[in-house]
Amino acid sequence: MLPENITAIIARNERWSGEAASEPYEAGWAREAVFFLRALKAPIGRPGKAFVEISPDGMRWVREGTEFDMPSEIDGLAAARIAHFGNWLRVAARFEDGAECTVLLTLHLKA
Amino acid sequence: MATSTFPTAAEMTEAMRLAMLRADPALSRFDPLPRIVSFDDFARGHCGWSQLVGNYEDTLDSMLPGYAQHSSAMLSTLGHWDAGSHGGMDSSYALKIATKPKPGAQNVAIKRHTFRARGPIRFEVFFTFKPEATELKLSETDVRSVGFLFDLQCGDRDGDGERVMPHLRFLNAENGRHIQKWQYKRETTALKPIGNEEKTVSHYHLAPEGWLDLPGGDQRLCYNEIPTKVNWSYLRFDFDLATMKATDFQCNDRRFDLSGFDSIRIPAMKNLWCMLNFCMFAETDAAKRAFLYVDSVCISGDF
């Protein structure tokens, strides 16, 4: 039996600014995860900072420790690889006032 | 002279089929028609249930807002903050369809097939639903609805060129009022051209308007006493692809009269021949995520 893997679309064409976060995703069956975040439109202002977050219940979140810069140009791509996360995953991001990015956030999971 | 009591070959075949079904722990809780098209227990991945993405051309901005909110379903052990993983009926996992935390938000999972014979199709599901447990309250009116639909179109040589979309939803609550009844739909929104090349149109068949009460469709389901207790319910919907009419509907111990039921019917589209799609959806009534959990699905046919 081949190991399960899935590509999940977590946020598609969402405009992120200020304090933003993706919807929670359950991935407890997977041993490894990769987030890809693509800027679908030219980002405005300075690129924000993104943080992988984990949760005991999908409602309360703590930083997992992986951070990355948001893309600085249209079609710019950022990635985060995570190997130890329990069940719940999301990406949170922080932008300066007036800055924003329209994102395609995908999650690639493998058992 | 005694008359023969030997069963016919057809009777023996059916008896053998039923004996094998009932001895199979995975399938025994279903009543499939003779041919199983797919059996999804979600202990083997998503089993082909992907997100219903909207149509677009050149830019995702052209997608209708109803579809833009959809996201991927997930595999869940129904892990709860107070009680841990609830698990499925027969494995750890269920498919989870989650809305965003905004009143009226919806999410839809879809399985896309085509058919090779126009005959009876049976859709059987074990499901449950709850809102996200963000409050220490019963929260029984926070999920607006859960439901399912088929998206069907005749074959390219058939003379009855229609796209037919039977919809049923369990309207649990609306604007904070606990309602608990089954509804169906006959109308979608107007077809809207997408882009400039005249190749794509879109319509949002899950728009809040146009739901009609299924006659005799009131039903109280098992909703357990706190937001983190769930019980699985059985649902069966029978549809005849030959006549493009629904023939039977059952949820738990109740069977419903479908003589007043009809589907959304629109002219056939130029590229959807023999389409056999199945969708399941959730809709929230509150600023709280609604979760539709599906333990297993068995789709079968008589062909």
User: Does the structure show a pLDDT above 90 at A85?
Assistant: yes
User: Does the structure show a pLDDT above 90 at B132?
Assistant: yes
Residue B225: which pLDDT band, with cuts at 50, 70 and 90?
confident
CATH 3.40.50.1820 for domain A5-110, yes or no, is: no
Q: What is the mean pLDDT of residues B110-130?
A: 98
User: Does the structure show a pLDDT above 80 at B3?
Assistant: no
Of B45, B60, B75, the CB nearest to A26: B75
Q: What single-letter DSSP state applies at residue B26?
A: T
Cβ contact, residue pair A28, B44, below 8 Å: no
What span, in angstroms and rounded, lies between the C-alpha atoms of B300 and B303? 9
Query: pLDDT value at position B117?
Result: 96
Neighbouring residues of A108: CB distance < 8 A, sequence distance ≥ 6: A5, A6, A7, A8, A33, A34, A35, A36
Cβ contact, residue pair B100, A87, below 8 Å: no
pTM of the model: 0.96
Tens digits of residue pLDDT in A57-78: 999 999 999 999 999 999 999 9
| Residues on B contacting A at a C-beta cutoff of 8 Å | 44-46, 51, 53, 60-61, 63, 68, 71-72, 74-77, 79-81, 93, 96, 98, 100, 132-134, 289
Domain residue spans of chain A: 5-110
Residue B1: which pLDDT band, with cuts at 50, 70 and 90?
low
Tens digits of residue pLDDT in B165-213: 999 999 999 999 999 999 999 988 888 888 888 788 888 899 899 999 9
Q: pLDDT averaged over chain A?
A: 97
What span, in angstroms and rounded, lies between the C-alpha atoms of B237 and B132? 28
CATH of B37-301, one of 2.60.120, 1.10.1760, 1.20.1070, 2.40.30: 2.60.120
Residue B62: closest C-alpha in chain A: A13
The whole-angstrom distance between A98's CA and the closest CA on chain B is: 21
Domain residue spans of chain B: 37-301
Q: DSSP states of chain A as a string?
A: -PPPEEEEEEEEEEEEESEEEPPPEE-TT-SEEEEEEEESS--BSS--EEEEEEESSSSS-EEEEEEEEPPSSTT-EEEEEES---SEEEEEEE--TT-EEEEEEEEEEE-
User: Does the structure show a pLDDT above 60 at B236?
Assistant: yes
